[in-house]
Amino acid sequence: MRVPMLEALAAGATYRDACGKVGIPWQTWCGWCREVRDGACNDPDVEALVVDARKTYAGATVSLTATVRVASQKDWKAAAFLMQHRVGSPKARHDTRRARYEAAIAKHRAEGTHVERIATVTDMTDDELLAEAERLAAAIREGQTH
């Protein structure tokens, strides 16, 4: 299991794809990574696999970056594909975030707890505007947008 996973990562696979190749469930892998990160892993084999996988993945990323640099001089599409494969699509992350936000609004509307807040800047004093900006910044920091 160890060698095929590290070979897949060295070849440019994502962690999820490498786990799928060797039969490690994704949630198990995520749990192992959390345990190693938190220093709570009691299995030296799992800890060694996670540490070696991180090193191998980082090495493959450096190699792919070098390939992208060379390829981008002749074919920008190949370079774009390789980079997107490694880091994902920024639009997909935005779409996911927006879908979660819209789902939360729909849930609150169904529960009857959603309140539409529409205010214009001209309706607010400077102090109210500053307080609202601080509230929104705090909500963003906490991951809450409702």
What are the tens digits of pLDDT across the range 85-142?
Answer: 666 666 777 788 888 888 888 888 888 887 776 667 677 888 888 898 898 888 888 8
What are the tens digits of pLDDT across the range 7-28?
Answer: 999 998 999 999 999 999 999 9
Boundaries of every domain in the chain: 2-88, 91-142
Q: Tell whether the model's pLDDT for residue 146 goes beyond 50.
A: no
Which pLDDT does position 78 carry in this prediction? 73
Chain centre distance of CA 54 = 16
> Taking the model in full, what pTM does it have?
0.54
